[in-house]
Amino acid sequence: LINSVLRKIALTEIELPNTDNKIYDMSIAYSCPENLVTHFVNDYGYIKAEEILKASVGAVPVFLRVNTLKTTSNELIEMLSNEGITAKSLGNGTTLEVVDGGAVFKTELYKKGYFHAQDLASQDCILNFAPKKNDVVFDVCAAPGGKSFTMAQMMENQGEIYSFDLYDHKIKLINDSAERLGISIINAQIGDASIYNDKLPKADKILCDVPCAGLGVIRRKPEIKYKDFGFVDKLCALQYNLLNNASLYLKKKGVLMYSTCSLSKKENEEVCEKFLEEHKDFI
């Protein structure tokens, strides 16, 4: 019955509302609850909010991070083509977009560690973080490990990466993927990022990629739209605590990166502004 109704709807031209209530109109046009539309409008204004909503619907692209420890972008494109999968390079030498061909993560190339899945924003995060060979790096909320893997590849598998998470099964996931990718510098271990551990060394660079409301990934996870966002205030307190604790491990003149996959200024700018206000030794 549901399939029948949806097929009928798909064949019918839909007339979108055009009322004096822009929040309502955008809510219908982009299948998004009014409270979330209001949130985006309050943070970004109507024009930017609509751009965000447009980007939140439609087919989800598949991006791959080329494992530069094992292959190159051009070589991987050719090997995927031999598997019946079409991919194109996005020009930076490390990122491919799958254009056609199906289950790329069931191929032997995946099993042999020639690539891992990683969205563009996640890759951009690490490109800006710019870890170097022989750095000591912390990834304090690491699972499932994609950013740690990209860092290891940028570091040419030389140095130390400490990848922490709260749960044993997530540490196993990181270790298994690191082995598949041929990465040996990741030290994955259980660690509570909110509690200081004086047994750990100081780090040149620390990635604090915190738990968040996920408002930047609703195209991939549309169920996020229907959450009650009353929990964001508690999240912000946790995010600040994690950032504050992470900063204690940093060497002088080191780099601390704070990141989320959210689009809430309360979770992003406001957390950073509070941190800078209370930590005058950081810029």
What's this model's pTM, rounded to 2 decimal places?
0.91
Predicted pLDDT of residue 220: 94
Contact in structure between 152 and 180 (CB atoms under 8 Å): no
CA distance 271 to 59: 32
The C-alpha angle 47, 51, 55, rounded to 5 degrees, equals 170
Predicted pLDDT of residue 243: 98
Of the listed 32, 208, 212, 261, which one is catalytic?
Answer: 261
CA distance 248 to 229: 30
Q: What residue type is 254 in one-letter code?
A: G
Does residue 272 carry a catalytic annotation?
A: no
Predicted pLDDT of residue 228: 85
Residue that is written with structure tokens 């502004």 in the block: 273
- Indicate if the pLDDT at residue 265 is higher than 90: yes
Nearest to 239 by CA among 218, 270, 215, 217: 270
Q: Measured between alpha carbons, how far is residue 280 from residues 202, 209, 249, 256, 283 in Å?
A: 20, 22, 16, 14, 7
188-240 pLDDT, tens digit per residue, is: 999 999 999 999 999 999 999 999 999 999 999 999 999 888 888 889 999 99
**Average pLDDT score over residue span 158-177:** 97
Beta bridge partners of 228: none
Band of pLDDT at residue 14, cut at 50, 70 and 90:
confident
Band of pLDDT at residue 155, cut at 50, 70 and 90:
very high
Q: Is 256 helix (H, G, I), strand (E, B) or coil?
A: strand
* Structure tokens that stand for 151 in this block: 């860092």
